[in-house]
């Protein structure tokens, strides 16, 4: 590239920088630094005229290194790289000095702040002198997506991607897709039948030519990178051959073993050779090996001869592993409901008439154990108390967040009680009612007018006096303690991250936010992306959501996941690591610390000896720099962050400026 000709551009950012840092002085200072040909300042460098200014200088003055002193590179580094690209310069010949977040925003003293900005700028100039042009590589994308989780989020995402013409693998760990939404009775605030609006989508998934459905399966390993993921999936044994079973159900009628029906929240029994629910997709039976007498003790086998025509029962089935290649991944693993046993004062697990909101859904559902009659302890309850915020907004449990759905599902459930048992007395204890969505406030209003009593108070305990349950709290509007009798208490349990969300995060190299839900790349502008390129989030795995929000996010994640598939190729990171074969001693420390498995040892010949040295796969490397920090002999370097470049920055920072 020949002689270095540096251009320095200092941004006022309106008054964001200019009010604290003397940009005129900073510009005069920049002009004194070695090899700086141009030093200018401008009110908004990110604006079109600002960009033009840099472009023209590059072209007219032959600049070949650019330093921009402005906001954080997280904001506008891509903008200025494009400026360099448009002016015919390699985009990696840019260095950004952050004099806003790191300087003007955090200091008050103008003189001192200007001195610090000088240091930061001199440091960036020192590095820019040593920058080398870098090359962005492109790799081909496998035009297939993987969706993990078959609840409403995963179903929606899979359908969206499949409709765009790409193949989708949908992996669900339960025997049927459907998730929590399938268990709900009615949805708020429209009172649609939840199953009725979900089952058409489920059968679309089952019938879609582009969707390969893998139920009763789990993702056990993910290798590779955006465009080229290698995923291992464990298929658990169903003991029923999926291709042969026609869901006639004869076998189940012969099965002698009963077990709690998980779909009905264990409120009823089912056979251990069962179909989760009548509309299951795939409509295939399954045997629960934790209950089956054959899988447990090699006894019984009553089912096998019954299926003599189809021969669909295979009690010797073993788990199998399959490997698939996909370009992008959508994580839609959903949530668990909060376990109210962690709040023992509420008496859940102790009193049978204290139930969770999800149990109420099954109790009220026409497909539930009571066929939709709200019956507890053999009779219709007359005094029903709903307790809000169980497991949400509770610092003592480490769940500070609002679960976003409980206020409205409680309002809906209170309405259902009033609808089915008109003379019942229904009380709702709440902290605040958050009716924020479309039609929510109207619904809440309607429910109150139906005669449901809303009382403000965080319930302190549920206990038994004689044969009656007492719900005790302080009514914080009246300012005194109250006790309400109840023969049914419904706990509005919130959402918590799935018990295995930590494992999922580890598998896909995702991070978790402080509430333990999966972390999005940016809370506002990249809500479906993650820190792992090519992996996207949909639904409640990212945080509590209602159904419309989940569907919207799933469509968004599907769209994001389809973009690389449609483009057919992706650019890889340019600022990758590389090992100097002459100094590497093959200690493997870098191999150990690399979170992307991008480094391997290779045998080379040096001075007639065969030895092992590190080799970085530049396509996989994300440029995190951990290997560079770990390397003991300085053989591992990262492009644009070489030792020479970093030391020159530090040296410049150490100078005294006036």
User: Are residues 459 and 480 in contact, defined by beta-carbon separation less than 8 angstroms?
Assistant: no
Length of the chain: 658
CA distance 555 to 561: 10
- Residue 395 burial by CB count (10 A; 0-12/13-18/19+): exposed, middle or buried? exposed
User: Are residues 394 and 460 in contact, defined by beta-carbon separation less than 8 angstroms?
Assistant: no
State in angstroms the smallest separation of the CB of 547 from other proteins: 35
Q: Does 398 bind other proteins (CB under 8 A)?
A: no
Rank residues 345 and 655 by Cβ distance to other proteins and give the closer one: 345
Rank residues 350 and 632 by Cβ distance to other proteins and give the closer one: 350
User: Are residues 488 and 355 in contact, defined by beta-carbon separation less than 8 angstroms?
Assistant: yes
Rank residues 318 and 480 by Cβ distance to other proteins and give the closer one: 480
Helix intervals (H) in 298-383:
303-306, 357-364
- Residue 336 burial by CB count (10 A; 0-12/13-18/19+): exposed, middle or buried? middle
Rank residues 460 and 512 by Cβ distance to other proteins and give the closer one: 460
Q: Does 463 bind other proteins (CB under 8 A)?
A: yes
- Look at residue 76 and give its three-state secondary structure: helix
Q: Does 345 bind other proteins (CB under 8 A)?
A: yes
Q: Which of 200, 344, 523, 634 is close enough to bind other proteins by CB under 8 A?
A: 344
Q: Does 526 bind other proteins (CB under 8 A)?
A: no
Structure tokens at 401: 């967040």
State in angstroms the smallest separation of the CB of 350 from other proteins: 8
Return the range that interacts with other proteins (CB under 8 A); candidates 8-16, 18-26, 128-136, 344-352: 344-352
Site for other proteins in 182-211 (CB under 8 A): none
Site for other proteins in 350-369 (CB under 8 A): 350
Rank residues 204 and 461 by Cβ distance to other proteins and give the closer one: 461
Rank residues 464 and 506 by Cβ distance to other proteins and give the closer one: 464
Residue 551, Cα to own-chain centre: how many angstroms?
14
Return the range that interacts with other proteins (CB under 8 A); candidates 20-28, 161-169, 342-350, 560-568: 342-350
CA distance 130 to 4: 9
Q: Does 349 bind other proteins (CB under 8 A)?
A: no
> What's 35's DSSP letter?
T
Rank residues 473 and 638 by Cβ distance to other proteins and give the closer one: 473
Q: Does 464 bind other proteins (CB under 8 A)?
A: yes
Site size toward other proteins, by CB under 8 A? 8
Rank residues 200 and 344 by Cβ distance to other proteins and give the closer one: 344
Residue 140, H or E segment: strand 138-140
State in angstroms the smallest separation of the CB of 395 from other proteins: 15
Q: Does 347 bind other proteins (CB under 8 A)?
A: yes
Cβ contacts of residue 408 below 8 Å, gap of 6+?
Answer: 188, 189, 435, 437, 440, 443, 444, 546
Site for other proteins in 423-462 (CB under 8 A): 461
CA distance 333 to 554: 12
State in angstroms the smallest separation of the CB of 347 from other proteins: 7
CA distance 134 to 654: 28
State in angstroms the smallest separation of the CB of 466 from other proteins: 8
Cα 376-377-378 angle, rounded to 5 deg: 90
Q: Does 481 bind other proteins (CB under 8 A)?
A: yes
User: Are residues 486 and 385 in contact, defined by beta-carbon separation less than 8 angstroms?
Assistant: yes
Rank residues 133 and 349 by Cβ distance to other proteins and give the closer one: 349
- Judged by the rule CB under 8 A, the positions of this chain that interact with other proteins are 344-345, 347, 350, 461, 463-464, 481
């Amino acid at each position: 590239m020949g002689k270095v000709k540096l251009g320095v551009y200092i941004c006022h950012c309106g008054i964001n920088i200019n009010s604290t840092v003397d940009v005129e002085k900073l510009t005069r200072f920049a002009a004194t630094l070695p090899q700086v040909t141009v030093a200018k300042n401008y009110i908004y460098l990110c604006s079109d005229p600002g960009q033009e200014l840099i472009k023209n200088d590059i072209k007219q003055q032959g600049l070949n290194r650019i330093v921009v002193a402005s906001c954080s590179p997280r904001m506008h580094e891509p903008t200025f790289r494009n400026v360099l690209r448009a002016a015919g310069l390699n985009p990696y010949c840019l260095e950004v000095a952050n004099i806003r977040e790191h300087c003007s925003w955090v200091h008050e003293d103008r003189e001192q702040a200007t001195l610090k900005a000088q240091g930061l700028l001199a440091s960036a100039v020192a590095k820019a002198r040593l920058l080398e042009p870098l090359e962005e590589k492109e790799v081909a994308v496998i035009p297939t997506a993987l969706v993990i989780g078959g609840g409403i989020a995963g179903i929606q995402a899979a359908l969206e991607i499949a409709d765009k013409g790409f193949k989708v693998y949908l992996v669900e760990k339960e025997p049927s897709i459907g998730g929590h939404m399938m268990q709900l009775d009615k949805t708020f605030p429209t009172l649609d039948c939840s199953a009725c609006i979900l089952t058409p989508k489920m059968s679309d998934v089952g019938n879609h030519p582009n969707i390969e459905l893998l139920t009763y399966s789990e993702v056990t390993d993910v290798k590779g990178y955006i465009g080229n993921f290698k995923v291992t999936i464990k298929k658990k044994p169903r003991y029923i051959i999926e291709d042969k079973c026609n869901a006639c159900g004869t076998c189940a009628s012969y099965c002698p073993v009963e077990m709690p029906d998980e779909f009905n929240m264990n409120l009823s029994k089912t056979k251990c050779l069962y179909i989760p629910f009548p509309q299951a997709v795939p409509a295939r039976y399954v045997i629960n090996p934790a209950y089956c007498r054959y899988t447990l003790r090699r006894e019984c086998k009553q089912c096998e001869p019954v299926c003599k025509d189809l021969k669909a029962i295979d009690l010797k089935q073993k788990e199998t592993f399959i490997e698939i290649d996909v370009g992008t991944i959508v994580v839609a693993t959903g949530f668990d409901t909060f376990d109210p046993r962690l709040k023992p004062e509420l008496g859940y697990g102790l009193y049978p008439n204290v139930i969770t909101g999800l149990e109420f859904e099954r109790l009220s559902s026409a497909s539930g154990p009571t066929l939709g009659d709200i019956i507890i302890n053999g009779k219709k309850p007359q005094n029903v108390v709903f307790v809000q915020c169980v497991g949400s907004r509770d610092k003592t449990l480490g769940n500070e967040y609002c679960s976003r759905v409980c206020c409205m599902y409680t309002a809906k459930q209170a309405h259902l009680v009033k609808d089915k048992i008109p003379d019942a007395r229904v009380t709702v204890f709440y902290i605040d009612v958050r009716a924020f969505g479309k039609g929510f406030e109207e619904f809440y209003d309607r429910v109150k007018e139906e005669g449901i009593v809303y009382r403000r108070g965080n319930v302190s305990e549920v206990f038994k006096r004689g044969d009656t349950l007492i719900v005790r709290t302080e009514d914080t509007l009246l300012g005194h303690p109250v006790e309400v009798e109840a023969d049914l208490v419904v706990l509005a349990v919130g959402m918590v991250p799935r018990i295995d969300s930590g494992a999922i995060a580890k598998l896909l190299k995702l991070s978790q936010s402080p509430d333990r839900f999966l972390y999005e790349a940016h809370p506002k502008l990249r809500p479906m992306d993650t820190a792992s390129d090519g992996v996207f989030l949909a639904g409640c795995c990212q945080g509590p959501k209602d159904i419309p929000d989940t569907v919207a996010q799933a469509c968004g994640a599907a769209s994001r996941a389809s973009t690389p598939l449609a483009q057919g190729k992706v650019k890889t990171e340019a600022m990758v690591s590389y090992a100097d074969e002459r100094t590497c001693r093959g200690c493997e420390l870098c191999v150990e610390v690399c979170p992307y498995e991008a480094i391997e040892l290779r045998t080379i010949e040096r001075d007639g000896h065969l030895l092992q040295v590190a080799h970085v796969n530049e396509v996989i490397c994300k440029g995190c720099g951990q290997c560079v920090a770990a390397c003991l002999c300085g053989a591992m370097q990262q492009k644009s962050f070489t030792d020479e470049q970093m030391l020159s920055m530090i040296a410049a920072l150490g100078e005294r400026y006036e």
